[in-house]
Amino acid sequence: MKPLIVPALLSVLTVAAPSVVLAQDLAAGKKVFRRCNACHTLEEGGTNKVGPNLWNIFGSTAGTRTNGFKYSKALKSSGIIWDDSTMSAYLENPRGTVPKTRMSFIGLKKADQRDAVINYLRSATR
Ligand code: HEC
């Protein structure tokens, strides 16, 4: 009996582990997002604040979603398509990545914070 129970237990553990990691990561990302939420909402139909609502942000071209927000010329003409790596660069150093962007945010210098907030955004914006 034992040899059967052990593999079953192992497979339960390997299935459970990634979702545990994901949940921790989402919590970490949600915490990092406190630095954004003065200016951004995430939910569908959410209001624009100082910055635009971010629903459906991934895969869109920067500054082009039709959400009523008045984007800077700089962001609109950047040609950036939002994915993990373009988002990470912009969040690390907004004005270094898009000179003259109106997002006045100093940047997230820590890669793990950027990764966490990007994961959180992915789950909360679609
Ligand atoms: C002080 C307000 C402010 C803070 C804080 C801020 N943003 Fe922004 N954000 C803006 C503004 C304003 C824009 C529009 C920039 C432009 O038009 O050049 C913007 C644009 C963006 C865009 C591009 C939107 C699009 O439609 O292309 C993303 C993504 C974004 N912000 C994510 C974040 C994240 C994530 C954080 C936190 C880590 C954050 N922002 C913090 C104000 C802010």
What mean pLDDT comes out for the span 95-110?
A: 98
Q: Is the CB of 95 under 6 A from ligand 1?
A: no
Q: How confident is the model at residue 24 (pLDDT cuts 50, 70, 90)?
A: confident
d(CA 92, CA 3): 50
d(CA 57, CA 110): 22
Q: How confident is the model at residue 14 (pLDDT cuts 50, 70, 90)?
A: low
* Per-residue b or e along 83-121, where b marks 16 or more CB atoms closer than 10 Å to that residue's CB: eeeebbbbbbebbebbeebbbebebbeeeebbbbbbbbb
Task: Tell me the pLDDT tens digit for each residue of 75-92.
Answer: 999 999 999 999 999 999
Q: Is the CB of 117 under 6 A from ligand 1?
A: yes
Distance 8 CA to ligand 1 centre (A): 46
Task: Tell me the pLDDT tens digit for each residue of 27-46.
Answer: 999 999 999 999 999 999 99
For the chain, what is the mean pLDDT?
91
Q: Is the CB of 118 under 6 A from ligand 1?
A: no
Q: Measuring CA to CA, which residue among 124, 61, 65 is closest to residue 87?
A: 61
Q: Measuring CA to CA, which residue among 87, 84, 50, 80 is closest to residue 65?
A: 80
